[in-house]
Structure 1
Amino acid sequence: MVTTINGVTKSIIKSLDNNLDDSYTKAVLSELRSSINRDSNYASKTWQLLFNRLPKDYLNTNGYLTREEKAILSTLQLYAVHQQGSVATVNYDQDEFIDTVGHFDVQYANKMFFVEYKIIKADGESETLNRLFKKYEDVVDFMGKWNNKLPNKMPKPRKYPSNLGNSLNHYRGSLGDKKAFDNRFNTMLTASTYDELLNNLRHIIKIIKSGKTPIKINYPKLAQDLYSWLGSEQSRDRIKLQWSQSYYYVDLKEENSNEK
């Protein structure tokens, strides 16, 4: 059995995506949307969907949702809102980021890889440099060559799923006036409670649903991020920063070429 937040959510959504036209799937999605803001008073199909796939460690018997249950259920509710009225899946299930490797921090947006890395100068001070690449293979090649110059070998680069900010970045790029959507995004980040965060997320999802450009969200990754949000203040701040970095990332080279 899958035992990660990301993996469990991916498994559940995949089972729904494979049968979007099925009457049972439609009923499940409808129940998920109806269960929003209803505390723990969910319908039977919602419980069945969760408990059939959740590992034993994620379950509780005291009548309250565990942190794992809450994060996965919240994600499925958001997915159900986003999926309503769509014949194709709204879940984006591909690896787009590369995880931090050694001295490198790599992010992907607007079809470009943004590499940030540090060098140690002769005086012992560090300097942060940046590079842009179009191909993942070029990033790996660059890191490999740089790695050979370091005394200690770095681990191999790992692919890392794109986050909410990356998806919203694509929607933002389709807008002429971005101010209203930026305000909505910033309001979401300043949410003081988990329920407030989810309420803002639902509003954002309804906004992108109404746009002309189809936007998908990596919901398994979102579940993992919501789980972190429910944790410590430090982990919550880290998720905010990651979403913001991805959301506001602009390919300056592409933007300059469009101005010519």
Structure 2
Amino acid sequence: MVTTINGVTKSVIKSLDNNLDDSYSKAVLAELRSSINRDSNYASKTWQLLFDKLPKDYLNTDGYLTREEKVILSTLQLYATHQQGNLQTVNYDQDEYIDTVGHFDVQYANKEFFVEFKVVKADGTSETSKRSFKNYEDVVNFMGKWNNEIPNKMKKAKKYSSNLGNSLNLYRSSLGDKKAFDNRFNTMLTASTYDELLNNLRHIIKIIKAGKTPIKINYPKLAQDLYSWLGSEQSRDRIKLQWSQSYYYVDLKKENSNEE
């Protein structure tokens, strides 16, 4: 039996994806959507499915959800919302790694965020610059402004796992006017409670569902990130920054090919 948040979520979604036309899978997905903002005992078919997949360490017997149960159920509800009306899975089930072209290196220490980035000078050479910030909101705003003002970023030989920000970046790149969606994304980042975060995530998923470009999300990775979000304040800020870095990612090769 798999014993990670990522692994359990992947196993549950895979069992549904393999039989999307099956009446049982349809019933589970419908129940997941109906169970949003309702008592956890409402999702009987869902719990039956989860209990077959969850390790004993993830289960509770006192009538309250464990942190593991909570994030897996939340993720499945988001997945079910996204999956509605789709004949193909909306789950991105690949171990993808993305180059950090156009990204920032962000470190957190001594209650400060340190941002390292490269600037291309007029003579074509580059230099590394650093900035420090007290609040993660200031870091996010800085990254957004920097990407809009600086036309060229230098490639770095570092890679990271695909996350929610990567998927939202794909949708963002299809937009002409990005301001409204950027505001929605930043509103999600400033959520002060887990329920507020989920509510914003559902709104975002409904927006990308209505778009012309099909967007998939790595839901097992999202479950792992939500688990970290419910952890310490430091881990929560780290997840928000990772999503922001991916969201404001600039693919220089694609931009250059479009200009040609």
TM-score w.r.t. the length of structure 1 is: 0.77
Q: State the match for 2:60 in structure 1.
A: 60
Alignment of 1:149-168 (within 5 A): 161-168=161-168
Q: CA deviation at 1:160?
A: 5.5
Q: State the match for 1:233 in structure 2.
A: 233
Structure 1 alignment gaps of length 5 or more: 99-105, 119-125, 134-138, 144-158
Moved more, 230-239 or 245-254: 245-254
Q: CA deviation at 1:92?
A: 0.2
Q: Distance in 1 between matches of 2:155 and 2:231?
A: 34
Q: Distance in 2 between matches of 1:128 and 1:4?
A: 38
Q: State the match for 1:195 in structure 2.
A: 195
Q: CA deviation at 1:44?
A: 1.5
Rate the CA distance shift 1:15–1:259 in 2: closer, same or farther, 3 A: same
Q: CA deviation at 1:161?
A: 3.6
Contact 1:114/1:131, CA 8 A, preserved across alignment:
no
Count of equivalent residues: 218
Contact 2:104/2:245, CA 8 A, preserved across alignment:
no
The one-letter code of the counterpart of 1:38 is: R
Moved more, 32-41 or 170-179: 32-41
Q: CA deviation at 1:259?
A: 3.5
Q: State the match for 2:155 in structure 1.
A: 132
Q: Distance in 1 between matches of 2:103 and 2:189?
A: 23
Q: State the match for 2:33 in structure 1.
A: 33
Q: Distance in 2 between matches of 1:216 and 1:205?
A: 10
Q: Distance in 2 between matches of 1:198 and 1:178?
A: 22
Rate the CA distance shift 1:128–1:94 in 2: closer, same or farther, 3 A: farther
The one-letter code of the counterpart of 2:41 is: N
Report the aligned-residue RMSD. Answer: 2.4
The one-letter code of the counterpart of 1:206 is: K
Contact 1:91/1:219, CA 8 A, preserved across alignment:
yes
SS of the residue corresponding to residue 132 of structure 1 reads: coil
Contact 1:92/1:217, CA 8 A, preserved across alignment:
yes
Q: State the match for 1:218 in structure 2.
A: 218
Contact 1:59/1:66, CA 8 A, preserved across alignment:
yes
The one-letter code of the counterpart of 1:17 is: D
TM-score w.r.t. the length of structure 2 is: 0.77
Q: In the alignment, is residue 207 of structure 1 matched against residue 202 of structure 2?
A: no
Q: Distance in 2 between matches of 1:131 and 1:179?
A: 25
Structure 2 alignment gaps of length 5 or more: 106-115, 117-126, 131-152
Q: Distance in 2 between matches of 1:114 and 1:230?
A: 25
Q: Which runs of 4+ in 1 moved over 6 A?
A: 112-116
The percentage of counterpart residues that share the same residue type is: 83
Q: Distance in 2 between matches of 1:253 and 1:214?
A: 22
- Deviation track 1:211-233 (CA, whole Å, cap 9, x = no partner) reads 00000000000000000001000
Q: CA deviation at 1:51?
A: 1.0
The one-letter code of the counterpart of 1:39 is: D
- Deviation track 1:114-165 (CA, whole Å, cap 9, x = no partner) reads 697x9xxxxxxx96797538xxxxx5xxx8xxxxxxxxxxxxxxx8541000
Rate the CA distance shift 1:253–1:189 in 2: closer, same or farther, 3 A: same
Q: Distance in 2 between matches of 1:77 and 1:115?
A: 32
Contact 1:28/1:45, CA 8 A, preserved across alignment:
yes
SS of the residue corresponding to residue 3 of structure 1 reads: coil
Contact 1:115/1:132, CA 8 A, preserved across alignment:
no
Contact 2:102/2:155, CA 8 A, preserved across alignment:
yes
The one-letter code of the counterpart of 2:155 is: L
SS of the residue corresponding to residue 96 of structure 2 reads: strand
Q: Distance in 2 between matches of 1:178 and 1:207?
A: 13
- Deviation track 1:221-256 (CA, whole Å, cap 9, x = no partner) reads 000000000100000000000000000111234324
Q: Distance in 2 between matches of 1:114 and 1:227?
A: 24
SS of the residue corresponding to residue 7 of structure 1 reads: helix
Q: Distance in 2 between matches of 1:231 and 1:204?
A: 23
